[in-house]
Amino acid sequence: MKVLGIETSCDETAASVVEDGSRLLSNVVASSMDLHVQYGGVVPEIAARSHIEVIMPVVQQALDEASCTWDDIDAIAVTYGAGLGGSLLIGVLTARTLAITYKKPLYAINHVEGHVYANFLTETSLPGYAMRAKQPEFPMLAIIVSGGHSQLVLFRDHFDYTLLGRTQDDAIGEAFDKVAKMLGLPYPGGPSVGKAALQGDAAAFPLPKAKVGKYDFSFSGPKTAVLRLAQAEIGEDYSFPSFKLAERLSEAQKANIAASFQRVAIETIVDKAKLAFEEFSPKSVVIAGGVAASPELRRQLTEALHLPIEYPDLKLCTDNGAMIATLGCFKVMHDQPVADPYALSIQPNLSM
């Protein structure tokens, strides 16, 4: 059974074909990132226009790379939330039109839940992918860390899960992106802060950890602390967003701030994950979302949980259509409700 997945919630236009929820047949991602870099973040209007331009070629390429025609496709899965309204609209309208035209069942996918399903892909003949050896077992603790979300979710089975906790303010990836901007490091912030941190001392500055609910997170405290710290270091209260702040910081100061922030942000996630791991004794722990690519997160988690954790390939951690197609496969296999191709609407604020 083959499902075509379509993902356009942010700045990636992505489509993929996945077979039986485990085999990756194609994975095409066209990013408009280059267009956003000069603004230090995603510009929604530019992202939406880019989706319109490339969505049909991306879908066709996903079919071609999977050596599929429309006859081979059993269902279409599309992200309908959460995400940027204009971006989601392009993917959803395209999927609706294709579902009607080719008479395929349509499945509406929650983007955040989709990220978790990148962990169920175990096989591919595509070059350059490091695949997981096996699918995770239930109960499964999912640590979801992306640009828009930070949450801990306990899955008892497919489609049977409890949200244990979430961020009370910024998502971790968003905090990385903002700290990068303060330090004059390029977007996206996760990788650039991580790179700068390699040259810095993570113990240079003690940043505060917020006191929130048992499994909840907060990243706005440490983020604001970074601003105060940078201001104190140069002895001038340039308020954000001023480029002057970054210009006045030395490379060593930037590296130390980046390392200190990264340590506390990642520790915040790992502390709570450890607590949930001890309370619920899950059979598997999975990491999902763009920040799953962070080597520091991987290092700290392995150390805290004493558990060999399998990660999806980096290309499956950031936004992609494969995770959407994979969850679509499980929806088909578990007789989940289909969406009405004449009526499916976007839900930019969808939560799990």
Q: Could you please report the per-residue DSSP string of 54-110?
A: HHHHHHHHHHHHTT--GGG--EEEEEEESS-HHHHHHHHHHHHHHHHHHT--EEEEE
CB closer to Zn ion, 27 vs 146? 146
Distinct helix (H) and strand (E) counts, the chain:
12, 10
Binding flag, residue 312, ligand KG4 (CB under 6 A): no
CB closer to Zn ion, 7 vs 267? 7
The residues near 112 (Cβ < 8 Å, ≥ 6 apart) are 82, 144, 146, 148, 149, 151, 288, 289, 350, 351, 352
Binding flag, residue 146, Zn ion (CB under 5 A): yes
- DSSP annotation of 290 reads G
CB of 42 to ligand KG4, least distance (A): 9
Residue nearest to ligand KG4 (CB): 190
Helix (H) or strand (E) holding 333: helix 322-333
Could you tell which of Zn ion, ligand KG4, none binds residue 189, using a CB distance below 5 to 8 A set by kind? ligand KG4
CB closer to Zn ion, 253 vs 318? 318
Tokens matching residue 309? 């954790």
List Cα–Cα distances, 14 to 51, 62, 107, 175, in angstroms: 9, 9, 16, 25
Binding flag, residue 81, ligand KG4 (CB under 6 A): no
Binding flag, residue 318, ligand KG4 (CB under 6 A): yes
Which residue in the set 22, 27, 294, 326 belongs to the binding site for ligand KG4 (CB under 6 A)?
A: 294
> Distance between alpha carbon 320 and the CA centroid of its chain, in Å?
9
- DSSP annotation of 10 reads S
Stretch that binds ligand KG4, among 14-22, 157-165, 169-177, 276-284 (CB under 6 A): 169-177
Hey, is 28 helix, strand or coil?
Answer: strand
CB of 39 to ligand KG4, least distance (A): 15
Could you tell which of ligand KG4, Zn ion, none binds residue 21, using a CB distance below 5 to 8 A set by kind? none
Crossing angle of the two packed helices 295-305 and 251-280, in degrees rounded to 10: 40
Binding flag, residue 194, ligand KG4 (CB under 6 A): yes
The residues near 203 (Cβ < 8 Å, ≥ 6 apart) are 260, 263
Binding flag, residue 177, ligand KG4 (CB under 6 A): yes
Binding flag, residue 10, ligand KG4 (CB under 6 A): yes
Could you tell which of Zn ion, ligand KG4, none binds residue 177, using a CB distance below 5 to 8 A set by kind? ligand KG4
| Cβ atoms of residues 167 and 217 within 8 Å | yes
Binding track, positions 289-328, relative to Zn ion; x by CB under 5 A: ------------------------------x---------
CB closer to Zn ion, 267 vs 319? 319
Q: Which residues bind Zn ion (CB under 5 A)?
A: 146, 319
Q: Which residues bind ligand KG4 (CB under 6 A)?
A: 10, 146-148, 173-174, 176-177, 188-191, 194, 289-291, 293-294, 318-319
